Structure 1
Amino acid sequence: MKSPIFLAALILSSATLFAQSDKKPSEPARPATGGSGEPRPQRQMVSSKKPDVSKAGNEQVAEIIKTYKGRGTLADDTPPTPPEEAVKKFKVRDGFEVELVASEPVIGQPLHISWDSKGRMWVTQYLQYQFPAGLKIVEYDNHLRAQFDKVPEPPPHGTKGADKITVFEDTNGDGKYDSHRDVITGLNIATSAVHGAGGIWVSNPPYLLFYPDADGDANPDSDPQVKLAGFGLEDTHSVMNSLKWGPDGWLYGANGSTTTGEVKDPASGEIVKWQGQMIWRYHPPTEKFEIYAEGGGNTFSVEIDSKGRVFSGTNNGNTRGMYYPQGAYGKKGWGKHGPLTNPYAFGYINHMAHEGDKNRFAQAFCIYEGGLYGDEWEGKIIAPNSLHNIVWVSKLLPDGSTFKTVDEEPLVETDDRWFRPVFSGVGPDGCVYIADWYDTRLSHVRPVDDWHKSSGRIYRVKPMGTDPKLQVMDFANASAEDLVGEFD
């Protein structure tokens, strides 16, 4: 039985394009056409919300909020499409079809999906984004990074936010998630959640939270414990994110490019400091915290394949993302994102070389090892590009001490501008699941909360004419003999 692969994702930052003169040139960038093949019409940028100066802690910040024009893909006048109709608009790769798993009003702004040992699907709804509740901004820098008037208290203390964790369950074994419930609410900038090691783990910067769940019923037994503190909040599209269990028993996560961190390692008592993008990990039995590798784009995803190799998507163009050997120093924008932690790191690892579509950006991808699609699919990258309303398939090929990627046909594309695939992962049924933020706006770079928070969808992509079941084995309660029998 293959392990489920999942991953998390979001949105814009400045891009530094990567190129290597000794690599084969990529194909020209694919025009932004969507599924119809026709060029997209230009849309008028509109917003029904006025700047909210109550977020400002002083007149200077209030003036920035009132006058900042914003940049990138902002809210426009394109009308939304109802969920079932949106599915019909998808252009899907031959041999596959898209099925709607969940949509509004049950979910809004889904950012991250994970699955537990019982096959339950955990969805993080990032509804508080983009401003933390209960905080005022006292300073913006020239990259719109914020300094706040205080550090938020961990839940259940302090001001409650709108973020929540929702669990979906197949109660009758028919392969459909027929039950759902909100298990944690009131979170304030929560980006991901995973179940395991005795409870529920939530990335809620500045904290890594642990909700005990001794009987595994997906209901917290108590208020959360703060396992780590000190993750930066300066930029809420660049905070700690994408919790993921590794095969080594460590809990992995990412940190984006425009936040900093100062976290005390509980095991040693040492303070771990960094600036910008990196992969970190935490070992629950020993409480050890460490930086696993550094660099990349605005790192907002973590993928770990069946061999334990660590990857992440990127907001750069002409690449699918980064491969991170342990201890690696990756390329980053030094001026904006700060130095590496080691001043004697005189070189760095680049993004993976790429042949195919050059358009930004494959912010979050998964590596398919689900066993359902056929042997030819094993090890391929499923890479959503939320900026261009498309989900790519790319071969992942060895390239010296790293990898390169080569595009195939897309898996899913559409001319619906609202389709914003921010996450892809492989469920316990072997299908690829896609979290759709569903909004015309995608750019973080405007200090106005005009996101369309009442919409969001989750889809699964299955082989045409099939009805995959959730092939679940409860690894947490399985015997040693049963576990040995699962090895290929």
Structure 2
Amino acid sequence: MRQFLHRLSRNLLIAMLLFSACQPRQEKKAAKQTVILTEAQLRQPAHATEGLKVRDGLEATLFASEPMITNPTNMDIDAKGRVWITEAYNYRNQLNPDHPYKQEGDRILILEDLNGDGAADTAKVFYQDTSINAALGICVLGNRVIVSCSPNVFVFTDTDGDDKADKKEVLFTGIGGVQHDHAIHAFIFGPDGKLYFNFGNMGDSLLDKEGKIVKDPQGNIVANKGQPYRQGMVFRCNPDGSSLEVLGHNFRNNYEVAVDAFGTLWQSDNDDDGNRGVRINYVMEYGNYGYTDEMTGAGWQARRINLEDSIPYRHWHLNDPGVVPNLLQTGSGSPTGMVVYEGSLLPEIFHNQMIHGEPGHNVVRSYPVKKHGAGYTATIENIVESGQDKWFRPSDVGVAPDGSLFIADWYDPGVGGHQVGDLDKGRIYRIAPEGNAYKVKAPEIRGSHDAIKALKSPNPATRYLGWTWLHAQGTDAEKPLKNLFTDENPRFRARALWLLSKLLGRGMDYVRQAIADDDEDIRITAIRAARQLQADVAPLLASLAEDPSPQVRREVLIALRHNKSPQMPALWAQLASRYDARDRWYLEALGISADNNWNACFTAWLKLTGNQWNTPAGRDIIWRARTSAALPLLSQIINDPAASPLQNLRFFRALDFYPVSESTPVLLGLLKGNHPQQNLVNALAFTMLDEQRLEINASVRNALHNSLGAVKGRQEFVDLVQQYKIPGQDEELLELAVADKGELSSYAMKTLLDGGGRPLVERKMKKDTASASALVKVIGANQDKPSRELLQNVILSQYTLPVRITATRMLGSSWNGFDQLWKLVEDKKLPMDLDTTAKAVLINSWRQDVKAKAVAYYEPGKVGNTNLPPIARLVEMKGDAVSGKKIYATYCASCHIAGNSGVNFGPALTEIGSKLDKTAIYDAIINPDAGISFGYEGVLLKLKDGSSMLGYIAGETKEEVELKMAGGSGAKIKKADILSRKAYEHSLMPTGLASAVSGQELADLVTYLGTLKK
């Protein structure tokens, strides 16, 4: 018994000791989870990591912060583990003149932890001057540093090893305007020894250091001119900038390209703000990514047949033949830096996957991919996200030599829109397993063993050192590289293969060996390496035409692009026969492969398939083709009596990708068909025909009239009436105008008024007072001269007061409308019962000249609230979201969408609560001129008829400009009718909202907007 009691007491004592030992850690963890910080505490570096939420098993430590650094835009980590930062204290100083800036310019800093405590102790200035203000890219390659700062790409060289730039050279220039976020971005060293980089849709063109336009290997100019390239692009070149290739184009703002060991490219792309179309792309080389119309350059908002069913997909022309699909669409956001994590320190789910900064949603996350056919699928896994601190704005991510992840944090209340809310703060975090210390030993490459070790590093800068040493050894490095090629890690094998393929006289031997490898990724790498050897790859690739992997066959197709071998068409046809009608990636690879050789490829395919072409897969290939030989088959598909024309819209759309001289005969032939729904076929064909090429005889006129009934109530009906000036359709147009169908209703009204239907509209408004106000809104949405004249007539006529109030508000919502309304006030012709409405409209005008006159006239001290509390106090006010939603409906819905309500004019607000904190939302409302979202900058057009139009450019072709105007209406203006075109110096958002509501109402509105989250 005594022994039992002794054992019991001993066990109890041990249990108590264990409990007490665990207790502090448990209490500390609980405290960390429950502590609530004030706004002021959140802003302090001492509490930086407490405001973040980190994935289980990982921890964030603060490596550097203000005042050591401010506004980090981009980052790289060298082989010594030092963090290189480009700063942007001077970001957009020309747009933010009230912000102080450094006359000596922005800095490139080297941050280093000297004492091993995991935090930077020094910040060396590698270079500083105004030429690198707000640089958006840095790439450290030994003693050379590539810095991207539009319109230039600089190469700095430290010749004496003192961490100071001794030489500055231009690599490329002419890339967009000064300090443009949508221009040049960061460079990265690829596993093939090449440089990879990209620019956004304001990059425009690429000039060499001599100022000459760069051309690709086929002689095409590298410029956004549709010859053939458009918008944002991805590039590959030699380290000296030579042999530049365009690897993909037609992106909007593709921020940073990432390359894995096999040479696969990944990147993100930003949508026009607020359209929930942010995307992640696998960059299939030489593809078109659909931001604008491939043929015309028109924007995604332009009307086209076979429109996608929602804006996020319409945004990228995903229904068009010739557009590579998106890997993943992530909704709203402001995507920034990206890497492929090829380390092992982080949890396994992140191994060999993209890691990406998304400051719009305050998160760093990964997109684990799985192979799917010739493409991929992906999911989202968060690594670090904002907890309490919504100022967390990760601008870049980087991988250190030890495999830990570093994050550059811009740290600001907002992101994007050329705006900055805080100039003084910035953070650098390290993410690693809990308790993992940051220890990096600088590599010393004294032989092949050291070089191979460096080549296997997860850190790109270290890999660069190993690659260049091994490449310089030539055949002396063959043996260690052959050993590495037998490694169990396929990514190490791929890195070895790239170098082996470049051995003089031996490269193709290793390529042939790798093409027979059991690992499909090695076979893919071998194909890519063979292309760079500039040999005829067709005979080499013939053995892979029946490869079981669609990923390998995809690479074979891309490798055959522009191949001159007589084997190429037959090989293409063989690969096309493996298409299964479910794999859009494979279909687009077929299209990329056949570029400039469609006639031969298509002929070879038809020979192979014979009469068996009319299958789902065959119809897809015909849809994607770009050869006149496909046109009769397109016609046959459209005329198939078993399919509704509405099911065949994509085949109609395919005709847009042929010259008009080739598509017109096909469309005319469709008019002579015998489809069970022939009138519908005719209607669709008529909308696509150029009326100037069509001889309108009695037969055609009869077919045109009969086709209208088939598209009654649809966009095509209005298109036909407008395009062919068909009389007798006023009642139907009026019915559409009152049907509350958004842009379709306003388009129907414009067509009605243009065709002389004003008397019918006036009779309807006088007879049906219930619909009169709705009609006035539709009239006002167009803002052209006939619409404004009708609105003024309503104001001055005997309509009910609510109708005339609506007409007053609608008239005062356009450039010319403000003039017209002010003229009525100034000439004292405005009815007295509309004075209060006109006063509110004019004082809150976004036309500053009209607003100034109205303020002087109306004594604004008595109007609205002119004494708002400062933003810091507004942030602390408690708002009511229900009341705020009503304020949104009154003041904001006429220009902004939130969820399913509102008008698609300004940036959508649907997820603004995820993107901006209260401070930034208040600032956007009170100071709209301070940050104008890219793509929403106003343009003032003066027309030859003496009128002016204000809006933003939604699309532009060689012949016309599509202008989006307040209220959501759009207008296509012939360039021949434009007298002048001038950038508007203010935001299109009215500046008077803040003075039209009380501080409490503004707090309610911001509270409601803050609830709009993903």
Code of the aligned partner of 2:87? Q
Query: Do the aligned residues in 2 keep the contact of 1:265 with 1:290 (CA within 8 Å)?
Result: no
2:414 to 441, 461, 468: 441
Q: Deviations over 1:156-194 (max 9, x none)?
A: xxx966322101224456655333211111123422222
Query: Do the aligned residues in 1 keep the contact of 2:213 with 2:222 (CA within 8 Å)?
Result: no
Q: Which residue of 2 aligns with 1:332?
A: 291
Q: Which residue of 1 aligns with 2:50?
A: 88
Q: Which residue of 2 aligns with 1:226?
A: 170
User: Is it true that 1:184 corresponds to 2:127 in the alignment?
Assistant: yes
Identity, in percent, stands at 27
> Distance in 2 between the 1:415 and 1:460 partners?
19
> Distance in 2 between the 1:333 and 1:444 partners?
21
User: Is it true that 1:367 corresponds to 2:340 in the alignment?
Assistant: yes
User: Is it true that 1:351 corresponds to 2:326 in the alignment?
Assistant: yes
Query: Do the aligned residues in 2 keep the contact of 1:428 with 1:472 (CA within 8 Å)?
Result: no
Report the alpha carbon displacement of residue 370 of structure 1 after superposing the two structures with TM.
1.9
Query: Do the aligned residues in 1 keep the contact of 2:171 with 2:208 (CA within 8 Å)?
Result: no
Report the alpha carbon displacement of residue 234 of structure 1 after superposing the two structures with TM.
6.7
User: Is it true that 1:252 corresponds to 2:196 in the alignment?
Assistant: yes
Report the alpha carbon displacement of residue 218 of structure 1 after superposing the two structures with TM.
2.8
Q: Which residue of 1 aligns with 2:187?
A: 243
> Distance in 2 between the 1:388 and 1:286 partners?
35
User: Is it true that 1:100 corresponds to 2:68 in the alignment?
Assistant: no
Q: Which residue of 2 aligns with 1:296?
A: 251
Residues 191 and 360 of structure 1, relative CA distance in 2, 3 Å threshold? closer
Query: Do the aligned residues in 2 keep the contact of 1:278 with 1:293 (CA within 8 Å)?
Result: yes
2:207 to 249, 259, 263: 263
Q: Which residue of 2 aligns with 1:166?
A: 109
User: Is it true that 1:380 corresponds to 2:353 in the alignment?
Assistant: yes
User: Is it true that 1:214 corresponds to 2:214 in the alignment?
Assistant: no
Listed as ranges, the matches of 1:273-312 within 5 Å are 273-274=223-224, 275-285=230-240, 287-312=242-267
Query: Do the aligned residues in 2 keep the contact of 1:319 with 1:352 (CA within 8 Å)?
Result: no
Code of the aligned partner of 2:111? F
SS of alignment partner, residue 90 of structure 2: coil
User: Quick check: 205-214 or 192-201, which moved more?
Assistant: 192-201
Unaligned runs of 5+ in 1: 1-34, 38-76, 136-158, 339-344
Report the alpha carbon displacement of residue 318 of structure 1 after superposing the two structures with TM.
6.3
> Distance in 1 between the 2:386 and 2:366 partners?
11
Greater strand proportion: 1
User: Is it true that 1:416 corresponds to 2:381 in the alignment?
Assistant: no
2:146 to 190, 195, 201: 201
> Distance in 1 between the 2:360 and 2:50 partners?
20
> Distance in 1 between the 2:161 and 2:243 partners?
24
Residues 200 and 256 of structure 1, relative CA distance in 2, 3 Å threshold? same
Residues 377 and 259 of structure 1, relative CA distance in 2, 3 Å threshold? closer
> Distance in 1 between the 2:338 and 2:214 partners?
34
Query: Do the aligned residues in 2 keep the contact of 1:108 with 1:457 (CA within 8 Å)?
Result: yes
Code of the aligned partner of 1:328? G
Residues 161 and 90 of structure 1, relative CA distance in 2, 3 Å threshold? same
SS of alignment partner, residue 282 of structure 2: strand
User: Quick check: 262-271 or 309-318, which moved more?
Assistant: 262-271
Residues 268 and 283 of structure 1, relative CA distance in 2, 3 Å threshold? farther
Residues 210 and 353 of structure 1, relative CA distance in 2, 3 Å threshold? closer
> Distance in 2 between the 1:160 and 1:480 partners?
47
Query: Do the aligned residues in 1 keep the contact of 2:171 with 2:240 (CA within 8 Å)?
Result: no
> Distance in 1 between the 2:432 and 2:400 partners?
11
Q: What is the number of residues matched between the two proteins?
A: 379
Code of the aligned partner of 1:333? T
> Distance in 2 between the 1:337 and 1:105 partners?
44
Residues 218 and 387 of structure 1, relative CA distance in 2, 3 Å threshold? same
Residues 326 and 472 of structure 1, relative CA distance in 2, 3 Å threshold? farther
SS of alignment partner, residue 48 of structure 2: helix
Greater helix proportion: 2
Code of the aligned partner of 1:247? P
Q: Which residue of 2 aligns with 1:58?
A: none
Code of the aligned partner of 1:86? A
SS of alignment partner, residue 482 of structure 1: helix
Code of the aligned partner of 1:418? W
SS of alignment partner, residue 314 of structure 1: strand
SS of alignment partner, residue 429 of structure 2: strand
Query: Do the aligned residues in 1 keep the contact of 2:202 with 2:231 (CA within 8 Å)?
Result: yes
> Distance in 1 between the 2:106 and 2:114 partners?
25
> Distance in 1 between the 2:241 and 2:206 partners?
19
> Distance in 2 between the 1:450 and 1:303 partners?
27
> Distance in 2 between the 1:112 and 1:371 partners?
24
Query: Do the aligned residues in 1 keep the contact of 2:185 with 2:198 (CA within 8 Å)?
Result: yes
SS of alignment partner, residue 295 of structure 1: strand
User: Quick check: 243-252 or 319-328, which moved more?
Assistant: 319-328
Q: Deviations over 1:227-281 (max 9, x none)?
A: 2221111771212012211122222222112341142487997453234211123
Q: Deviations over 1:344-393 (max 9, x none)?
A: x9502122136xx6443544333322211244431233333212222233
Residues 251 and 393 of structure 1, relative CA distance in 2, 3 Å threshold? closer
Residues 218 and 295 of structure 1, relative CA distance in 2, 3 Å threshold? farther
1:124 to 68, 86, 92: 86
Q: Which residue of 2 aligns with 1:469?
A: 439
TM-score, normalised relative to structure 1: 0.69
> Distance in 2 between the 1:337 and 1:211 partners?
40
Residues 348 and 265 of structure 1, relative CA distance in 2, 3 Å threshold? farther
Report the alpha carbon displacement of residue 430 of structure 1 after superposing the two structures with TM.
1.0
Query: Do the aligned residues in 2 keep the contact of 1:379 with 1:396 (CA within 8 Å)?
Result: no
Code of the aligned partner of 2:60? V
Residues 235 and 126 of structure 1, relative CA distance in 2, 3 Å threshold? closer
Q: Which residue of 2 aligns with 1:401?
A: 374
User: Is it true that 1:390 corresponds to 2:335 in the alignment?
Assistant: no
Code of the aligned partner of 2:429? Y
Unaligned runs of 5+ in 2: 1-31, 216-220, 225-229, 302-319, 457-483, 485-491, 493-1014
Aligned-residue Cα RMSD (Å) equals 3.5
> Distance in 2 between the 1:385 and 1:200 partners?
25
TM-score, normalised relative to structure 2: 0.35
Code of the aligned partner of 2:323? Y
Q: Which residue of 2 aligns with 1:482?
A: 450
Residues 130 and 351 of structure 1, relative CA distance in 2, 3 Å threshold? farther
Higher relative contact order (CA 8 A, sep 6+): 1
> Distance in 2 between the 1:268 and 1:443 partners?
30
Report the alpha carbon displacement of residue 101 of structure 1 after superposing the two structures with TM.
0.7
> Distance in 2 between the 1:129 and 1:265 partners?
25
Q: Deviations over 1:56-95 (max 9, x none)?
A: xxxxxxxxxxxxxxxxxxxxx9996212213112222111
Q: Which residue of 2 aligns with 1:18?
A: none
SS of alignment partner, residue 398 of structure 2: strand
Q: Which residue of 2 aligns with 1:454?
A: 424
SS of alignment partner, residue 321 of structure 1: strand
> Distance in 2 between the 1:401 and 1:227 partners?
35
Q: Deviations over 1:305-361 (max 9, x none)?
A: 2222111122244665111133222221343599xxxxxx9502122136xx64435
Q: Which residue of 2 aligns with 1:114?
A: 76
